[in-house]
A = this chain, B = another copy of it.
């Protein structure tokens, strides 16, 4: 298991900076929005938490299609499936490495990008907290989507289509925490829900992912 994790991280670093790229995409989405909606600071600061969450989500999403596809194309996935390693464990490790490569940098960078969108003062803490709690769920759900669509040509867009509705609850609670945080309101309820979703998803979804992957490999 650690071997797999280390390999995936090594691959991400070798491949011209897996770390940097997810981040860069997040940055660019946040930068594009002011170009799109215009530079009014009051407006930007109102939409900042939401846009940052949507940006983080899209950054996660974009990197999903390579989560299993590369291993599938070069045959590693077949070989891993015959290895003495439960598929559930393997997929959890995959999700973890996806999170380390994509989610974690997003969590760390979000406050910095908040500045670009004029995020109000108290928002920074809660934005970070909500992303830290929510992005693991995004990675795990994404792994499920990737397992569903592995091996389909042009699976990329189908993957987005399947995964996005699954992302909605996480997004709503995550953005709600960030928004309430930014406005100085109470965040306890959405925070609990967010944590609940993450915990549930991390505990249960890998089983579904493994079942689906097994079907896809045969």
Contact = CB atoms under 8 A, between A and B. Distances in A.
Interface of A: 15-16, 18, 21-22, 24-25, 28-29, 31-33, 35-38, 43, 46-47, 49-51, 53-54, 57-58, 62-63, 65-66, 70, 73, 152-154, 156-158, 160-161, 164-165, 167-168, 171-172, 175, 179
A87 B38 CA distance: 39
Nearest to A25: B160
Contact of A47 (B43, B153, B158): B43
A21 B62 contact: no
A50 B25 contact: no
Contacts of A29: 54, 58
B25 A54 contact: no
B54 A157 contact: no
Nearest to A47: B37
Contact of A154 (B21, B28, B35): B21
Given A54-B36, A62-B62, A28 B160 contact: yes
Contacts of A73: 73
A171 B54 contact: no
B54 A161 contact: no
Contacts of A164: 25, 28, 31-32
A14 B98 CA distance: 30
A53 to B, nearest CB: 5
A32 B168 contact: yes
Contacts of A35: 50, 54, 168, 171-172, 175
Contact of A153 (B28, B70, B152): B70
Residue from A32, A66, A161 having most chain B Cβ neighbours under 10 A? A32
A154 B50 contact: no
The 7 closest A-B pairs by CB, nearest first: A36-B50, A37-B50, A21-B157, A15-B154, A36-B54, A28-B164, A36-B175
A165 B175 CA distance: 27
A24 to B, nearest CB: 5
